[in-house]
Amino acid sequence: MRIAFASGKGGAGKTTVAASLAAIWPHPCLIVDADVEAPNLHLFLHPHLEAAQSVYLTVPELDSEKCTACGDCAAMCSYKAIAKLGAGLIVFADMCHGCGGCFEVCQANALKKGKRELGSLQWGSWSLKMGADQNSDQNLNQALGQTSSQTSGKNSGKTLLMGKSRVGEAMSPPLLRAIDGALAAISVGDAASVPDILIDSPPGVSCPAMTTARMADALVLVAESTPFGTYDFKLAHAAFKKLNMPLAVVMNRAGMPGNESGDAALEKYCAAEGLPLLARLPFDLQAAEAYARGYLPLLEQSANALIWQRRFGLLYDAVQRWAGGKIGQIAEPCSAVNICASGTTGAGHA
Amino acid sequence: MKIAVSSEGPGLESQVDPRFGRAAGFVIVDMESMNTEYVDNGASQVMAQGAGIETAERLSALGVGAVLSGYVGPKAFTALQAAGMQIYQDLDGRSVGDAVRCYAGGTLNPATASNK
């Protein structure tokens, strides 16, 4: 199953929630950093990264000897990547969105297929040492309410896929589609060999965030209950609910001093919209301090590591119930209809 | 020769629009007859990208030989050069008429690189 973690506002806690869940995920699991303009999962998960694979967009290159300057390509380009100026044409390759239309309309065969680098994909393996003492596996299993035999061997050897936009590249959706292609390539075969995929989305509600959400089967919105956070969360909900996919909410920084009414307002909104509230993660200054040093709250370097392991263990349980048993056992992307039919997502996605 | 001045309004008394690609419009002056006409550039103002390129195309199609403006972006500059036009920058802060007089007086130097 593919679950994306998104938010309207940046800094709501997507990376913390996605990475922490990946750390305790008791099934084969791939975590994807789809925030390609500012990837940061690798700063927390410390993967052993393999060589970066460049991703390219096919863009036109003009063969001026063959070009008859008819202007058909310039006329069809909505992005001004080709302009007719004076007697000739000129190509602005960095304006190109890669639709390929110019190649189709050129009768003179004067456009060659060039390429522009969009960025790169990079695979890595990682594992984190969890817990506040040496018995981290045991603590983890307690947190998950499982015996060690259930999770032993499954909890190590995790994989990360990072997308990284080229500095100066204006578009990220084509690179995100390359991530989607890479995920499709590993999502074949028997169910047991296909990992669950957790996707750390770009923030906001524009093309990068929507493109990423479309890769997933279900979407978890991480929401901060401050006035600013709630405003952006509502924007995000309004945008993502149009995708007709299962949506759920994780409230982050609950109980922030002075923001009690914010927590209540966010809960009321979720209830009114039929959005399952999977967890209320509390505001914890020590967790923020550990995070600022590059440690997830559930790692041994964090002051309240065991408590945070338990919290994320409970969140995992809630995600599993919400997903209606689709985690850790399916190869086919589960349809929104199936999950909605399980009755866990309320009436908000008809 | 016709010259085009990026303009906030339709006449010689209007202020030079500092923007080239997203200028409100252009006052086109025929330097032989000194007749003027106004070309609206609103369609390019609202473009997500490529405003400067489209504006250069528009002026090129009108047979303009020189452009007077405030700031010309790098892509627009390339496009105007490809169209064989001369480019005069940093002419904002005065009226279109004053800019045309400066040009006619022969004291302006054409730009060799984008100033934006």
Q: Which residue of A has its CA nearest to B48?
A: A79
User: Which CATH number describes the domain made up of A57-117?
Assistant: 3.30.70.20
Q: What are the extents of the domains in chain A?
A: 2-53+119-129+154-324, 57-117
Is the distance from CB of A150 to CB of A316 less than 8 angstroms? Answer: no
Q: What is the pLDDT of residue A333?
A: 41
Mean pLDDT of chain A: 87
| Complex confidence, ipTM | 0.87
Chain B, nearest residue to A71 by Cα: B57
* β-strand partners of B70: none
Which residues on A lie below 8 Å from B78 (Cβ)?
90, 92
| Token reading at B75 | 């892509």
pLDDT of residue A326: 77
CA of A343 vs chain B CAs: smallest distance (Å): 42
pLDDT tens readout for residues A227-275: 999 999 999 999 999 999 999 999 999 999 999 899 999 999 999 999 9
**Chain A closest-CA separation from residue B44 CA (Å):** 11
d(CA A176, nearest CA chain B) in Å: 21
pLDDT over 70 (residue A331): no
Say which of B49, B56, B80 has its CB closest to residue A79. Answer: B49
- Residue spans of the domains in chain B: they are 2-105
Q: How confident is the model at residue A144 (pLDDT cuts 50, 70, 90)?
A: low
* pLDDT (mean) for A77-93: 93
* 8 Å CB contact between A68 and A123: no
Q: How close is the nearest chain A Cα to the Cα of B52, in Å? A: 9
Range in A112-121, A340-349, B31-40 with the lowest mean pLDDT: A340-349
Mean pLDDT of B106-112: 94
Global pTM reads: 0.81
Measure the CA angle with vertex A201, ends A2 and A238; round to 5°. Answer: 95
**Contact by Cβ (8 Å): A81, A59:** yes
Best A78, A90, A207 member to test B by mutation, with max B CBs in 10 Å, is A90
Q: Give the model's confidence band at A340: pLDDT under 50 very low, under 70 low, under 90 confident, else very high.
A: very low
**What is the pLDDT at residue A208?**
97
Encode burial over A264-287: b for 16+ CB neighbours within 10 A, e otherwise.
Answer: eebbebbeebebbbbbbbbbbeeb
> What is each CA distance from A154 to A221, A291, A312, in whole angstroms?
27, 26, 17
Architecture category of domain B2-105 in CATH:
2-Layer Sandwich (3.30)
Pick the CATH number of A2-53+119-129+154-324 from 1.10.260.40, 3.40.50.300, 1.20.1740.10, 3.30.1490.20: 3.40.50.300
pLDDT tens digits, one per residue of A278-327: 999 999 999 999 999 999 999 988 889 999 999 999 999 999 999 987 77
pLDDT at A192: 67
Considering only alpha carbons, which residue of chain A is nearest residue B44? A80
Tens digit of each residue's pLDDT (9 = 90 or more) over A212-229: 999 999 999 999 999 999
Pick the residue from chain A with its C-alpha nearest to B85. Answer: A86
- Is the model more confident about B10 or about A347? B10
Q: Does B49 touch chain A (CB under 8 A)?
A: yes
Q: What residues of B are in contact with residue A92 (Cβ under 8 Å)?
A: 50, 53, 75, 78
